[in-house]
Amino acid sequence: ITKTQKMKQVMGCPCLILFCFFLVGPYTPASSANLKPSAIFLQKPSAFVCPYIIGNSRASRWEGHKTERARSRMSATGVDKECSIPMVVVFGRPGAGKSTVADEALRIARDRSLPFDRDIVNLDLDVCVPQWMRDNFAQGVYPTLVQRRDFAQSCCDYVRSGVISKDAVIISFSFVNSDLREIFRDEFPEAIWALVDVTDEVAAERIRLRKGHFYKGKPSTNGHDHREQESAENYADVDESKAEDNPEWEFAPVEFSHILLDGLEDAKINACLVADALESLLVGSH
């Protein structure tokens, strides 16, 4: 045994004892409540060290949880295979004010999540609308049922890729037709839906006033034109009740459980309700 090894053996045990003493600290008398922080540190250093260690430990566990959850959602090909992320879908008639509510809800949710370091995102599915569909809307041509199905699937893919490593998401989109809703609900069955409810008249007036948006609503006609006839033919491959439930330009009735938001109410009030719903999902997911 060399001289250096002997020194390590001799010094090892006392150093370990001193470290434990520093971490745990000696007995602290009740009178220490009135001592200055420097005096408390000398008597019981663990009062300062332990909270730091515990805080970092919790942060490490949370980061580990986020990484593990993201890894479990991903297949070997990099495609999200289940996507059970906490999600609130803000939907309603075009012009109802969905984007305003969703943006404000995101701000509120992020403020509430600051202590937990949660990564929350807002995805507006308007970005998924291809240019050819935007051009058709401008000309009064509504997408066929097959086109809507393909579009809905592309929206689902967009959401799955957009929430990788995220902790929660707020979705905003009109979801005018029930077929779009059904596809999205099948893909994300645990999502909470929040309807920003306004009348057709209010929505139409808001659409008329807004600038630069591709969707201007149903074109005014005096009767059934060739486009309506073509649209009816597109329903030939589905049952009759399904066709009747999707009058295309009209906002289909909502026949599943959802949160009802008054579209004439202050957007901040509705946003708080959306943030509350998202918080309930976040609490339930941990």
Collapse the DSSP code of 137 into the 3-class scheme (helix H, G, I; strand E, B; otherwise coil) and give the result.
helix
Both tokens of residue 141?
Answer: 């041509």
Local structure of 170: helix, strand or coil: strand
Q: Do 28 and 165 reside in the same domain of the chain?
A: no
Inside any domain, residue 78? no
Total number of domains constituting the chain: 2
- 14-22, long-range: CB within 8 Å, 24+ apart, which pairs? 22/46, 22/49
* pLDDT beyond 70 at 54: no
Provide the pLDDT confidence category of residue 204 given band limits of 50, 70 and 90: confident
Indicate if 185 and 156 belong to the same structural domain. Answer: yes
> Given a cut of 50, is residue 99 above it in pLDDT?
yes
Query: How much is the pTM?
Result: 0.65
pLDDT-derived band at 114 (thresholds 50, 70, 90) equals confident
226 in the same domain as 205: yes
Determine the structural domain holding residue 240 and report its residue range.
83-284
Half-sphere exposure of 181 (CA within 13 A, CB side): 23
Considering the domain boundaries, does residue 19 fall inside one? yes
Of 202 and 1, the one with more pLDDT? 202
pLDDT exceeds cutoff 90 at 239: no
Q: Is pLDDT above 50 for 233?
A: no
Condensed to tens digits (0 to 9), the pLDDT of residues 179-202 reads 999 999 999 999 999 999 999 999
What's the whole-number average pLDDT of the chain? Answer: 74
Contact 32, 40 (CB under 8 A): yes
CATH number for the domain harbouring residue 108: 3.40.50.300
Domain assignment present for residue 257? The answer is: yes
Are 45 and 148 members of one domain? no
Domain shared by 46 and 103, yes or no: no
Give me the pLDDT at residue 65, please.
43
In this structure, the strands spanning 168-172 and 192-197 are unpaired
Residue 269 and residue 161 share a domain? yes
- Examine the pLDDT at 17 and tell me if it is beyond 60: no
Q: Do 168 and 36 share a domain, yes or no?
A: no
> Among residues 24, 42, 70, which one ends one of the domains?
70
